[in-house]
Chains A and B, each alone.
Chain A
Amino acid sequence: MSQPFAKLPAWADYGLLPLINLIVAFFVAGLVVLLVGESPIEAAVLMVKGAFGTGDGVGYTLYYATNFIFTGLCVAVAFHCGLFNIGGEGQAYIGGLGVAFVGLGLGDTLPWWIVFPLAIVASGIAGALWALIPAWLQARRGSHVVITTIMFNFIAASIMVYIVVQILKPMNIQSPETRVFGAGGQLPSLGWLLNAVGLNMRSAPLNLSFLIALVAAFLVWVLIWRTKLGYEIRTMGFSPKAARYAGISELRIIIITMMISGALAGMMALNPIMGAQHRLQLDFVAGAGFVGIAVALMGRSHPVGIVLAAILFGMLYQGGAEIAFDMPNISRDMIVIIQGLVILFAGALEHMFRPTLQRIFHGLSLKKDQTVPVIAGGGQ
């Protein structure tokens, strides 16, 4: 009795269904725009133009997307193990310490191509260590990671305020930030990449970490589906009982998975710190850790889906800023509403249209394959 409806073909499951969800989200968002007295069509045009119409628009969109790819991967890796890591925010924040440590210490003396790998490692380690304590508490004591990681977000925020203001901030600066890194602590921009397709990025901060994010996405795919560790992670995620049966150590897998997850969040810090601001500023994560949850949900925890979803959210961020700029009735908060709707429909209400769609496909398949032989009944 397990399959009351026809199974959806993969293209409908991974393409059509998210698309329908997205369209509905935008439709409801349009109603909200209408409510405050602006034209939804105009707003939509502004958003798309703002995000993809110009070189710097594209630059910003992909810059934001870089953050979301990292945090989305962070959430997805934990998902595969059945863990809900909502501490990406804090892990990314602490990851910034790793970047700052390398950028401040070596940026003045070494070239960027030596500093960068070290910064990647340092940010990853910092993020991983920040995830270690919740991981250990979950594995050993059964304290739920949802609770512990969100508490660790607050702890991270407080620690960073202390460290930046009391320790790292030079005496002669008023704002809570470190000094600007030396030349070696600054990543090359990807302007040449956009130039190659005929766009001028101008001052947009898109930088090398975008490519690193894509590499990370590929490596996560390899990890999850092609390695023994990934096999163990997925076994644990699908069925802890089966993992126990298979002799997979729960303690070991939870800790390793959470540390990989934390490391991915930590690497997010590379993009704003080393790539854009060239210094550590307070609050540089700016909610990317939480957006990562939506990105992972929407991308079905698959790296390809995550990259696409991250670009979509990058568009919402960049295009949203443009709308707020051009339509006085629409404030930044409106953009958050629209983003919230996308999360609601794409993430939380993901199954709303599924039964209907399944019924339609069921009907289609009835007409089509009257002659298909029976495989098995619907027993059990």
Chain B
Amino acid sequence: MSAAAIELIGVDKRFGSVHANRDIHLTIEKGTIHGIIGENGAGKSTLMSILYGFYQADSGEIRINGKSTKITDPNAAIGMGIGMVHQHFMLVENFTVLENVMLGVEGAPLLKKGIAKARAELKRLEQEYELDVDPDALIEELPVGLQQRVEILKALYRGAEILVLDEPTGVLTPPEADHLFRILEQLRDQGKTIILITHKLREIMAATDNVSVMRQGSVVATKKTSETSVEELAELMVGRRVLLRVQKGEAQPGEVKLSVENLTVRDSRGVIMVDNASFNVRAGEIVGIAGVAGNGQSQLIETIAGIRAAVAGRVLLDGQLIDIMGAADPGELRDRGLAHVPEDRHHMGLVLAFEEYENSILGYHDDPLYLKGPFLDIDAIKADARKKIEKYDIRPGDPNLKTANFSGGNQQKIVLAREIERDPGVLIIGQPTRGVDVGAIEFIHKRIIEMRDAGKAVLLVSVELDEIRSLSDRILVMFAGRIVGERDAEADEGELGCLMAGVEQLEAAE
């Protein structure tokens, strides 16, 4: 048997008091797809950053193809045949595919020769691995799935034998993800080694040969994928048994709380983002909006929440009009019982530089409860923050800690606690569990169901189809700004996937 593609022996890394990787032993066989799964903060990304030369391990050894090596920077990693496909693409949007692929390896001060060579090489790669992309297409005009393919081509062009993909499916529709996995299999069959980092158990089961589970900086298990199960992996990840299925009873829908009629929203460039959308949400039900990121869901909920102005349509809250044209004041909507957990908690839902207690009143800072005249009543705010910390099990439970120092799950709990504890009639939630660990997901889902059972109207937007399916009572699918279908919670995943990809749209047009 030939030497393993990668062997990590006792790799250890600390950031101050945070022990991000502890004594990692990991062997990745050549020509396999190896999954690495773990919650956020389990140390997956740190480990891969060490492998790619962004960080240096404090101790331990890395062997590539059996040879002990020091990876001092990403260039060294590329030199050793390691290629990385980042979660957020590192592409120049207004360059063509070809220009992006050859960026940094142009070969000469004048481009002409390099371009010819790159074009030939790209053609060869495309044929060998069936990775079709038009080399002269502009990146910004390509769909995300193809952009990702360009990232893979970039790595292969640099001679990568080992490909690391960091959460590659976050931006893809289910069919696109399936396509990606087929490409990966193809690459494996040609002898490449692939490391797939993800927190989605389903993908591990679908696409990998072996899987390693990380928890709190350690590799707790490495298994053959065929010999394990979703339940076992989940338990290994969290360290205890988790309920993967959300348990909820029958919905008891009441009167209409939120009604959206013919809503149309343009972005700052005048592009239509929400196109004539109509739907309503009733008390005691969860309406989920499924769709691939960027199909207008963000603009839709931001408009309803008063953050963004619409160009046409009406929105009624409890039968009363909301002034969506002038962008209603979000503060006023809060007073009328509309709470909003925004998709972008880092920039919108929270001020990361604030201490926890300061964020616990964001948007409700006009409430006399927290004020003494023009002054903040800091004692009252902190007491209130402590109560929420206890109720939502926010850790570490210190209202004076800077918000940036909380984990993703705990940051989300800060936002949820703030919005839910005001007992709103309508709750709008965007991406409730993005970047949130499995343990917290369970907690957050429970809270959302509780809101429904308490007779609140919940509008849920998520790019995680599983989440939409397990929480929603009704599912709306958005594609290119339009609501292209409504299904009930039992809808078939494949059917929803097609709707999300706009397939039915195309067929209707033909």
A contact set with B: CB distance below 8 Å: 1-7, 222, 226-229, 231-232, 234-235, 238-239, 241-242, 244-249, 362, 365-366, 369, 372, 374-380
Contacts and interface: CB of A to CB of B under 8 A. Distances in A.
Contacts of A5: 15-16
B236 interface: no
B329 A377 contact: no
A239 B40 contact: no
Contacts of A374: 18-19, 22, 216-217
Contacts of A241: 344, 347-348
Given A245-B330, A246-B365, A376-B18, A227 B376 contact: yes
Contact of A379 (B41, B306, B351, B366): B41
A4 B334 contact: no
A1 B21 CA distance: 12
Contacts of A380: 40-41, 45, 408, 435
B168 interface: no
A246 to B, nearest CB: 4
Contacts of B362: 235, 242, 245-246
A170 to B, nearest CB: 44
Contacts, number: 134
B329 A247 contact: yes
A316 B207 CA distance: 67
B59 to A, nearest CB: 11
B43 A377 contact: yes
Nearest to B333: A247
Given A227-B375, A247-B363, A380-B435, 19 more contacts: A1-B46, A1-B54, A3-B16, A4-B15, A228-B365, A231-B365, A239-B351, A242-B348, A245-B330, A246-B331, A247-B329, A248-B331, A365-B17, A374-B22, A375-B396, A376-B18, A377-B46, A379-B42, A380-B40
Interface centre among A2, A226, A239, A378 (most CB of B within 10 A): A378
A244 B333 CA distance: 13
A95 to B, nearest CB: 24
**Consensus secondary structure, chain A interface:** loop
B45 A1 contact: yes
**Consensus secondary structure, chain B interface:** loop
Contacts of A232: 365
A7 B305 CA distance: 37
Contacts of A1: 45-46, 49, 54
B20 interface: yes
Interface string B324-339: 0000011111100000
B350 interface: yes
B347 A239 contact: yes
A246 B332 CA distance: 10
B407 A376 contact: yes
B367 to A, nearest CB: 10
B41 A231 contact: no
A226 B216 contact: no
B58 interface: yes
Given A380-B40, A380-B45, A238 B351 contact: yes
A223 to B, nearest CB: 9
Nearest to A248: B331
Given A379-B43, A379-B44, A379-B45, A242 B18 contact: no
Contact of B376 (A6, A228, A375): A228
B340 interface: yes
A300 to B, nearest CB: 13
B374 interface: yes
A234 B354 contact: yes
B349 interface: yes
B205 interface: no
B343 to A, nearest CB: 11
A222 B404 CA distance: 24
Contacts of A372: 17
Interface in B337-377: 340, 342, 344, 347-354, 358, 362-363, 365-366, 371, 374-376
Interface string B480-499: 00000000000000000000
A227 B374 CA distance: 6
Contacts of B454: none
A247 to B, nearest CB: 3
Contacts of B129: none
A226 B376 contact: yes
Contacts of B330: 244-247
A6 B15 CA distance: 6
A370 B395 CA distance: 22
Nearest to A247: B331
A377 B378 CA distance: 31
29 contacts: A2-B404, A5-B15, A5-B16, A226-B375, A228-B375, A234-B354, A238-B352, A241-B344, A242-B348, A242-B351, A245-B307, A245-B348, A246-B362, A247-B331, A247-B363, A362-B16, A365-B16, A366-B58, A374-B22, A375-B18, A377-B18, A377-B20, A377-B216, A378-B20, A379-B41, A379-B43, A379-B407, A379-B408, A380-B408
A5 B307 CA distance: 36
